Amino acid sequence: MQIEKIKVRLTSTRQEVEVTVFSKRPEAIEVVIGEGTHSVRCTLTPTRNGLAYAGSAMGREIVYERSRADVEADVKRAMAWRGE
């Protein structure tokens, strides 16, 4: 099994951070920020216009700048690759 990583942007500092994907569905993306005992799990949900996913971890907003349609295509591609 391959571990998927994505880049999210911290809105307060505009810094990009690489996070590990725990689960990915068009309705929500669960990510893990950090590693080991200091890791934090965060759920990113689609924004109102569907052009990005946003969530909050430790009081900071994070954004994954891909549309819901792009994520849905990624999920379908991954399922086809796995033979599901």
CA dist 68 and 46 (Å) reads 7
Mean pLDDT of 18-46: 94
Residue 82's pLDDT is: 74
Whole-Å CA distances, 8 to 11, 71, 80, 82: 9, 14, 25, 25
pLDDT exceeding 90 applies to what percent of the chain? 79
Q: 57-83, pLDDT tens digit by residue?
A: 989 999 999 999 999 999 998 888 777
The count of structural domains within the chain is 1
pLDDT at 1 over 60: no
Structural domain of 60: 5-82
Specify the range with the lowest mean pLDDT, choosing from 1-5, 17-21, 25-29: 1-5
d(CA 2, CA 83): 15
